Amino acid sequence: MFDIIGGPLREKIGHLVQFLKEVRAESRRVSWASRKQVMGATLVVLVLVLLSAVYLGIVDLILAALIRAVLG
């Protein structure tokens, strides 16, 4: 019974180990961004999110005022 389960299970574990080895090798080949590049990109994203939030907030206030005026 254990031989039947052990064979396929051992094969799946072998495939998993091989996959993880390949992932590790591939991650070593990746050209990672520098800390300065990551910080710059993060700052751009945060500024754009803030500007979008302000814009949507203003639009929401205007539309809410218009709806209140129409519905009385």
What is the rounded distance in angstroms from the CA atom of residue 57 to the CA atom of residue 63? 10
pLDDT tens, position by position, 22-65: 999 999 999 999 999 999 999 999 999 999 999 999 999 999 99
pTM, two decimals, is 0.60
The token pair at 41 is 């990109």
What is the rounded distance in angstroms from the CA atom of residue 36 to the CA atom of residue 48? 18
Name the residue type at position 22: E
Name the residue type at position 67: I
